[in-house]
Amino acid sequence: MIDRLQELGREALEEIKQADSVKALESVRVKYLGKKGPITEVLRGMGQLSEEERPKVGQKANDVREEIKEKLEEKTEQLEKAAIDEKLKAESIDITLPGREVKQGARHPLTAVVEEIEDIFVGLGFQVTKGPEVETDQYNFEKLNLPAEHPARDMQDSFYVTTDMLLRTQTSPVQARTMETFEGQGPVKIVCPGKVYRRDDDDATHSHQFMQIEGLYVDKNVQMSDLKGVLEAFVQKYFGADRSIRLRPSFFPFTEPSVEVDVSCGICGGKGCRVCKYSGWIEVLGAGMIHPNVLEMSGFDPEIYTGFAFGMGVERFAMLKYGIDDIRHFYTNDIRFLNQFKRA
């Protein structure tokens, strides 16, 4: 019987060695270790043995069983590991291939210009203030010395929501609203960036929607020289220290006196070229001393307080700085155009 058990053990180990799947191993286990297996058949004949032989045969049978179980577990572990390795190999990523580019956005050029201008004026002591884009006729016009039927209203074709509500045509209403919160006590020193709307035909230099930044400074003894000093400091910081400005008389209903502000041409250095129409100067913004009526309507005594205001188009400043020839480029979302300003 011991010889038979040894033979069965060798056969089982050889079949385990030849097995190429977990399923085949399970068949070997059932074949040799099952209740109807040959090892069990041998043990059933132990009744014919003497008392001295039984323990030896029983011990050998247990040894053969344990060896078969051990080899089954080892081979099962090998086959499972091989299956996992094969699956990983089939699902592996070829790291030699170039990765897919992750496209990242950047600030829109107008946003970059607005933030740059804000930073300059914050450095000059101004605060950034914002207000509603849907505005009342009172704040958009009347509080700015533009009563109903005033001829200056014809300069701004407007988008009306109701007879008394419209899309603001300028950011000046923010100035009026802010002055009211100070209840007639200065100083007030703010810049107001934002979108404005006018019914205009879109072309290379006009748009029905564009961005403005307006500024306001109200305090005692504010003079025109203060306005010139602030604007000159701003222009030299934005365009370059070699640039200068000039003031030309103009008219705006909410300022008196009013001026147009020109900056010396950066292409020709003020000598005259095609860009500046051979004048040496480029018009960039409007400004002036705040009209006494505007101060009074916002709660300030014009006998005590004076102030200046100015307004500029953000698109114009961006076009001048980056050499852009068509305002429509800012709003068509052409990636080829916008990619040029990733580091702006």
Q: How far apart are CA 140 and CA 156, in angstroms?
A: 11
Q: How far apart are CA 203 and CA 209, in angstroms?
A: 12
302 preceded by a cis bond (ω within 30 of 0): no
The residues, ordered by sequence, that sit 6+ positions from 325 with a Cβ below 8 Å of its Cβ are: 204, 319
The bridge status of strand 255-264 relative to strand 281-290 is antiparallel
Nearest to 218 by CA among 258, 246, 182, 171: 182
Other C-beta atoms lying within 10 Å of the C-beta of residue 120: 17
Nearest to 130 by CA among 167, 169, 179, 175: 175
The residues, ordered by sequence, that sit 6+ positions from 339 with a Cβ below 8 Å of its Cβ are: none
Whether 343 contacts 319, CB under 8 Å: no
Provide the residue count of the chain: 344
- Give, for 75, the enclosing helix (H) or strand (E): helix 53-91
> End-to-end CA distance of the chain, in Å?
92
256 among annotated binding-site residues: yes
Q: How far apart are CA 216 and CA 308, in angstroms?
A: 6
Q: Which two tokens stand for residue 200?
A: 């205009």
Binding residues for Mg(2+): 256
Binding residues: 256
